Amino acid sequence: MQEVMSENALRDLNTIPGSEKKNESSSKGSFTKPYIGAATENLEEFQKKNSVSLVSPPMNGNETANTVLETGIPEVEYIESENLNDLEDVDTSLKTLLAGLESKDWVLVCEALNNVRRISIFHKDAMLDILGDVILLVVKSLKNPRSAVCKTAIMTSADIFNAYNDHIIDSLDPMLLQLLLKSSQDKRFVCEAAERALVAMTKWVSPVLLLPKLQPYLKHKNPRIRAKTSTCFCRSVPRLGVDGIKAYGIDKLIQIAASQLSDQLPESREAARILLLELQTVYEKFHDLTPTVSEHPDMGSWEHFCQSKLSPLSAQAVLRVTNIAREGLVLGS
């Protein structure tokens, strides 16, 4: 009886059309088509059924987010700005841009983010009218728990800073907060990308506009965010120039730097130290300290200035930092 059943089963199997066999086999296979900025497959339903997640890239400098092949999720390539190609149809891309950024399909979101980057690089004027809406959706992607979307959004932020400079200032606050958060997390490849975006921000956004945006985060409850903000603040101040620092208020800047000098993390304290040395140099440039015959020759000194603007303890800490640096320069010469 068993032999008859086996023969019947074998005969039934042999009569299955080839196309059905192929379909059965392919259903157990994987979709490994790489994503390089142009997605044509909608994987939303597949993702819902399989509950898959992207695997973080290895920590060996490889800039591709590799995926588990069994899941059939496409690979994501992080394309550096200089390697991005221009769009073939700018008008069509602009019309579908916001919808792409709002898509529930993360692959399509990554494609839209890379299109934002392309437009920023090659056709920045074309996106000015919708720039505010675009930035809000980029911020949404910065919050995305999927690393591929988040990192692509970070790279998009850097290209936006580079292209639009001060045009983004009214939309900067939510983007700034997310970049500070991402630069403060433990996932290294996301953290490093966020730090590069913050460097682009301090390079391309005018310091007179950026410094007031940064200042509230110097008092953030998270010490890592305070540290990243201190570093940004330290990079931005010298871009004001001597006259700009004087106009902004060197007394206000020295008070900010002094408060960071006693902060929890070494990164904050080092940024404060560098900023104080910059402020000392600037102060001495626009206060000619050449000895003159005067009843009070020390009234214009750096020491007197610090003591007049800071509490005794803060002034002592600031002078200790700047005097040690000065003594080091003297010994070095």
Q: List CB contacts of 165: < 8 A, sequence separation 6 or more.
A: 204, 205, 206
Q: 190, 151 in Cβ contact below 8 A?
A: yes
From first to last of its 333 residues, the chain has per-residue pLDDT tens of 444 445 554 444 444 444 444 343 333 332 233 333 333 333 343 333 333 333 333 333 444 444 433 344 566 789 999 999 999 999 999 999 999 999 999 999 999 999 999 999 999 999 999 999 999 999 999 999 999 999 999 999 999 999 999 999 999 999 999 999 999 988 899 999 999 999 999 999 999 999 999 999 999 999 999 999 999 999 999 999 999 999 999 999 999 999 999 999 999 999 999 999 999 999 988 875 444 434 555 568 999 999 999 999 999 999 999 988 665 544 454
Cβ contacts of 50 within 8 Å, gap of 6 or more: 71, 72
* Three-state SS letters, 126-165: HHHHHHHHHHHHHHHHHCCCCHHHHHHHHHHHHHHHHHHH
Residue 77 has φ and ψ, to the nearest 5°, of -100, 125
Distance (Å, whole) CA 326 – CA 333: 11
- Give, in order, the Cα–Cα distances in Å from 269 to each of 101, 119, 234, 238, 273: 39, 39, 11, 17, 6
What per-residue confidence (pLDDT) applies to 326? 65
Smallest CA-to-CA distance from 278 within 253, 261, 248 is with 253
Task: Tell me which fold the domain 29-205 belongs to.
Answer: Leucine-rich Repeat Variant (1.25.10)
CA 197 to chain centre: 4
Say whether domain 207-289+296-333 belongs to CATH 1.10.287. Answer: no
Give the pLDDT of residue 28: 33
Q: Containing H/E element for 64? A: strand 64-65
User: Residues for the chain: how many in total?
Assistant: 333
Rounded Cα distance between 2 and 7, Å, is 9
CA 284 to CA 298: how far, in whole Å?
A: 13
Helix (H) or strand (E) holding 76: strand 76-77
Tokens 């000098």 belong to 261
Q: Where are the domains of the chain?
A: 29-205, 207-289+296-333
Give the up-direction half-sphere exposure of residue 289: CA atoms within 13 A in the CB hemisphere: 14
